[in-house]
Structure 1
Amino acid sequence: MAGPSPSYLTATADAYDAVADLYTDLIRDSLDALPLDRAIVGAFAELVRASGLRRVVEAGCGPGHMTAHLRDLGLDAFGVDLSPAFIEIARRDHPDLRFELGSMGALDVPDGALGGVLSWYSVIHTPPAELPPYLTEFRRVLAPGGHLLLGFFESEGGPVTEFDHKVAPAYRWPIDELAGLVGKEGFTEVGRMLREPLEDERFRRGHLLMRAV
């Protein structure tokens, strides 16, 4: 399966390694002030629990705070990330959870083994042409009827747009276009949520909840 080039993966991991401690301090309690975000993650968790297959992966888990939130919502969650610094922090802060160093485009999971995949602002650094292999991998590890939740920056009516993310180059997606792309990889849409930026945020936030068919 074709995927992102090694140079792209290395550059992204290195960029986050360099700011891992600062980034962790900034986002550790970020969900506390985001009721709409908590709601869509809660809906994802409820659907996964109802399926009877509670095993889920956070693909691109960063310092592990969202993986821990999934655990608190009753899921059997583990995390995968490219950044060695993030994996070290995640294991330190959440020693009861499993975190693996690796690419979310090549998950060490058997076909159809999971009830859910959370990709919480982890595909934003992927060049648009390189995104489909990630979606193919997410579909591979999900059981039929399993759920995928994507969090991303929305382009507010414009095309896919690169922007100056503080850590590494990133992209904003029109929600309809991203939903269509995910649909081509074997998913059907369950729901979506758009949230306007808060006072300290620059862009609208998009969330897509998809089901594997």
Structure 2
Amino acid sequence: MGIDAPDDLETVRSSYDAVADNYVRMVGDPGPWLRAALDAFAEQVRDVGPVLDAGCGPGWISGHLRDRGVDVSGIDLSPRMVEHARRRHPDIAFRVASVTEVEPEPESLGGVLGWWSWFNLPRETLPAVVAAMARALRPDGQLMIGTHCGDGDRLRTRSYGDVPVRWTTHLYRPHEVSDMLTAAGLEIVAELRMPPEPPSQAPQILVAARKLGGR
């Protein structure tokens, strides 16, 4: 794929390893609107091809898609997150990898999910990842990205139970996410914006885009 590994990749990896156990305890059901978006995604891609959950964490989203008939596999940067995913969902294939390392074959996937898992990527890296995942989609396949909305960057030094971490959350305006997807040759099919919760956090955005050329 030819994407350079981020300079802080190992720092981010060790940070997510450190918070993984607390993350499993603290992060649960994403709520009805996001569940509905996942269900719509599953309905539209399950017959197109397999789905890659790229940044799967402990596997909650992969399991949700599997329960809706999707052939899904997952990757995550954090070995500890992948341990949790394999324990919770032993019937799903998970492996340790950065999204910058994977090289899916062109038109090999029905869907790719970046579910609040790509915001740590450097700004100059994210468009290349989006383009590579778009190439991997079959016609009518979809790429769905969830991320934090706003301007600028936020350095996190403690998270998930006040555990010391170090990663940068890059914030994006909705049009910036949509522009990356359309620049990769995809057609925007849905956009969901949500207020911050708790109010001290950034607003959230979820954007889905389809690869043209199908029905």
Taking structure 1 as the reference length, the TM-score comes to 0.89
Separation in 1 of the partners of 2:4 and 2:26? Answer: 28
Aligned with 1:94 (options 89, 114, 117) = 89
Aligned residue among 47, 58, 63 for 1:63: 58
1:67-78 counterparts in 2 under 5 A? 67-78=62-73
Q: Which runs of 5+ in 2 are unaligned?
A: 160-164
- Identical aligned pairs, as a percentage? 33
Deviation per residue, 1:129-186 (Å, 9 max, x gap)? 111121122112211220011011111xxx4x11144342111100011111221112
Amino acid at match of 1:10: E
> Which contiguous aligned blocks of 4+ residues in structure 1 show a shift greater than 4 angstroms?
none
Of residues 175-184 and 196-205 in structure 1, the stretch that sits farther from structure 2 once superposed is: 196-205
Q: What is the distance in 2 between the residues matched to 1:114 and 1:209?
A: 15
- Output aligned runs, 1:42-61, within 5 Å: 42-49=39-46, 52-61=47-56
The offset of 1:102, in angstroms, is: 1.1
Q: Match for 1:62: what amino acid?
A: G
Aligned length: 204
Amino acid at match of 1:140: R
Q: TM-score, normalised by structure 2?
A: 0.88
The amino acid that maps onto 1:193 is: L
**Are the aligned partners of 1:79 and 1:99 in contact in 2 as well (CA < 8 Å)?**
yes
Query: What is the alpha-carbon root mean square deviation over aligned residues?
Result: 1.7
1:22-41 residue pairs with structure 2 within 5 A?
Answer: 22-27=22-27, 29-31=28-30, 34-41=31-38
Per-residue deviation, 1:54 = 3.9
Query: Would the aligned equivalents of 2:48 and 2:140 in 1 still touch at CA under 8 Å?
Result: no
Offset at residue 105 of structure 1 (A): 2.3
Tell me, yes or no, if structure 1 residue 152 matches structure 2 residue 150.
no
Whole-Å separation in 1 of the counterparts to 2:66 and 2:199: 28
CA distance, structure 1, for counterparts of residue 97 and residue 155 of structure 2:
25
* 1:18 pairs with 2:15: no
Q: Which residue of 2 aligns with 1:127?
A: 122
What is the letter of the counterpart of residue 35 of structure 2?
Answer: R
Counterpart residue number, 1:191: 190
Greater helix fraction, Structure 1 or Structure 2? 1
Offset, 1:200: 6.2
